[in-house]
Amino acid sequence: MKKFVVLCLSVLLGLAALSPSMAAEVPTVRVSYIFTTHHEPFMVAMSKCEGLKDQGIWLEQVVPKEKYDLFVDGEKVARLNVVVAKSGSETAVLFAQKHIDLGMGSLPAMMTARDKGTPVKVLCPLHADGIGLVVPSNSPYGSWDEFLDALRNSDKPIKVGYHSPTSAPRIIFESAMFDNDISVTQKMGEDADVFLVDLKSTSNLIPALTSGQVDAWVGPDPFPEMAAFRGAGKVLMDLRDLPPAGKWSNFPCCVVAAREETIASDGPVVKAFVDLMTKTCSWCNDNKEEAATLGAGWIGIPAEAAKKSTIVYTTDPSENWITGAGVFMTYLDKMGKFKGSFAGKRLEDVQEGLFDFSFVR
């Protein structure tokens, strides 16, 4: 009997010892982002970690730049495995291949992913603006009008680079070409005003300009500012200033998205991550210089260049943001980018399947 009692006590003690570790088990969620200051709030959250504790939600580092624990009001709610993507297009592929659960990338990339049948939903914006048209530093163009004149009158296509086929910079630029009756091609030898060049990654933007591979490019902050800082190019204009005035201002660009499966299985974690982005977006807007310095250090660029960014961080899908999303939808369809369920559709036709704003509303 004594042996039996001792055995029972041992089992109970063992269970008691195990229970804390069992209770500590939390979901593991794979999160992707891109090396651009468009995703600065996430980089700031990973940089400051417990330094953001006073906002009630923060990260704690497990493995630098790779693994973080997500805390809400002192309780660990998830382990984040961090993945770096090269572009929104790659983020869409990672979603389709089930390699990530949450990801940040351009709205057009998420739209085209959904069009192809990838079960992904946009949860909220991450920012607005912060996109530039860059030409060589010795370029004769001094304004948008001069650039348009050159496109119309050149005896050969002017080569304009972009970093991703479904990036906001490319879609906004190509839409502006459409509005101005400027012909665009990606086929070598085809007669057109503009020859679009896929540079595959933001890291190739500045080298492509200095090597003469392209005559100009459109890209996200901080790369326009870096080109100017290094003397490799000059920012001809911020795309938010494209005519007509106001049409492209506060326009959608990068968003936070999630697989539908993740939303269904780990809704509280998704909510916590969106809350982290909401609060860190506000922190970045209120502490612009420090945020720019942290973001610059994270991706290895001069802080002076990052501080010149025109980005506004927000997770609010405002009425203006929704209107801009509708413009994206219209242009993507006009330009034949949709080949699946979105072809011939308007935003109001697909909005329920594309968006899930319940985590920010």
pLDDT of residue 3: 52
What's 131's DSSP letter? E
Contacts of 145 (CB under 8 A, 6+ apart): none
**Whole-angstrom Cα distance, residue 102 to residue 262?**
8
pLDDT of residue 166: 80
pLDDT of residue 117: 97
Q: Tell me the torsion sign for CA atoms 33, 36, 41, 46.
A: positive
| CA proximity to 236, closest of 155, 153, 297, 158 | 158
**Whole-angstrom Cα distance, residue 51 to residue 71?**
12
Q: Would you say the CATH fold of 131-241 matches that of 24-129+251-359?
A: yes
pLDDT of residue 15: 41
Amino acid at site 162: Y
pLDDT of residue 24: 57
Give the side-chain half-sphere CA count within 13 A for 275.
Answer: 17
pLDDT of residue 7: 47
Q: Give the CATH superfamily of 131-241.
A: Periplasmic binding protein-like II (3.40.190.10)
**Whole-angstrom Cα distance, residue 223 to residue 215?**
16
Q: What is the pTM of this model?
A: 0.83
**Whole-angstrom Cα distance, residue 161 to residue 218?**
6
Q: What is the residue extent of each domain of the chain?
A: 24-129+251-359, 131-241
Q: How does 338-358 read in b/e, with b if 16+ C-beta sit within 10 Å?
A: beeebeeeebeebbeebbbbe
pLDDT of residue 9: 44
CATH code linked to domain 24-129+251-359: 3.40.190.10
pLDDT tens sequence for the chain (361 residues): 555 444 444 444 444 444 333 345 999 999 999 998 999 999 999 999 999 999 999 999 999 999 999 999 999 999 999 999 998 999 999 999 999 999 999 999 999 999 999 999 999 999 988 899 999 999 999 999 999 999 999 999 999 999 988 888 998 999 899 989 999 999 888 899 999 999 998 899 999 999 999 999 999 988 999 999 999 999 999 998 998 888 887 789 999 999 999 999 999 999 999 999 999 999 999 999 999 999 999 999 899 999 988 899 999 999 989 998 998 999 899 889 899 999 999 999 999 999 999 999 8
